[in-house]
Structure 1
Amino acid sequence: MALSSGTAPNGARGQTVAQRLQKELMDLMTKPTPGITAFPDDENMTIWTATIEGPPDTPYADLTFKLWMKFADTYPYTPPRVLFKTPIYHPNVDFSGRICLDILKDKWSAIYNITSVLLSLQSLLGEPNTSSPLNGQAAELWDKDQEEFKRHVLARHKQPEELDAC
């Protein structure tokens, strides 16, 4: 596996991106968190594939979602770029898979890691921010008609294996 590296901004001493990601990979492997997985690409340590399971008692229960993560040379000082690869119907995710979540934007902190990002996304599935939606129809249905919302979720969802076959 080729390791891309980077250094902390402004010449600050610190771990390289590759070192930080290697540590996070080891943490994910030695202390797995139920309902989430994440692994780097075979050729590029800064591109990862992750999965999150939908939380119980939500319209996403028993569904698995595949995500793409890209880490800049300035990680962990800047957030990773994260996209849903699995089609998802959600108030805070657009139809291209882009996500509106504060910790992936202006509320990012270097103390966050891959696990905390994936747990936040898993939490977002059950607790969307309907006052700041990327998908207005989904936000409206979430607030007004959970049964219809779930029908949209199930109609849009594909299993990870179906995505790999495309």
Structure 2
Amino acid sequence: MELNTRRIITETTRLAKEPIEGITVTPRGDNFRHFDVIIEGPPQTPYEGGRFRLELFLPENYPLSPMKILFSTPIYHPNINRLGKICLDILDSKWTPALRISSVLLSIQQLLSSPNPDDPLDNTVAQHWRENLEDAHKTAREWTNKHAQE
């Protein structure tokens, strides 16, 4: 068994045994590299009460290369664009093989609690966030209510 296959099995087994609060990870079919993820909107944020769907894929050379993660659920957030791409340094320039699926998902959950409009992926949303935080939160709540309810 290849080292990266063993690593994936170890990580997914641990996720099943020790689930992360507010995060559900489900393998997609019989492809052990492809997962459906649901992240619950953190309390006391504009995303509270929402259930956000993400797609996670582990490339062939994982963990040497970062996993690919996209939001499937539309979300109004300065660090997530309309295509679902996430601006998070550990998914790009700060990736290290020491990172695990669980730590990356926790970082995404934290990004929902603490958006960073100074390092945006969606400049329009970031500008709204910087210029009128209360109104940006209102829009984010509206999007959550419209798109992230099941």
Which has the larger strand fraction?
2
After TM superposition, the structure 1 = structure 2 runs for residues 1-166 of structure 1, keeping only pairs within 5 Å, are 7=2, 15-16=3-4, 18-157=5-144, 158-159=147-148, 161=150
Tell me the percent identity.
Answer: 39
**Structure 1: how far apart are the matches of 2:104 and 2:50?**
18
Cα offsets for 1:135-156 (capped at 9, x unmatched):
1222122223233212322333
Distance of aligned partners of 1:89 and 1:25 in 2 relative to their CA distance in 1, 3 Å threshold: same
> Which amino acid in 1 is paired with 2:148?
Q
Structure 1 unaligned regions, length at least 5 = 8-14, 162-166
- How far, CA to CA, are the matches of 2:37 and 2:58 in structure 1? 13
* Number of equivalenced pairs: 148
Matches of 1:22 and 1:40, distance apart in 2? 11
Counterpart contact for 2:42–2:112, Cα < 8 Å: yes
RMSD: 1.7
Question: What residue in structure 2 maps to residue 10 of structure 1?
Answer: none
Is the partner of 1:37 in helix, strand or coil? Answer: strand
Deviations, residues 2-59 of structure 1 (Å, cap 9, x unaligned): xxx8x5xxxxxxx13x322211111111111111111211121111111111222211
Please report the TM-score for the alignment, with normalisation by the length of structure 1. Answer: 0.82
The code of the aligned residue for 2:95 comes to W
- Deviation string 1:62-99 (CA, Å, 9 cap, x unpaired) is 21111001111110111111100010110011101011
1:101 Cα deviation from its structure 2 partner: 0.5
**Matching residue's letter, 2:62:** Y
- For CA contacts below 8 A with separation 6 or more, give which structure has more relative contact order: 2
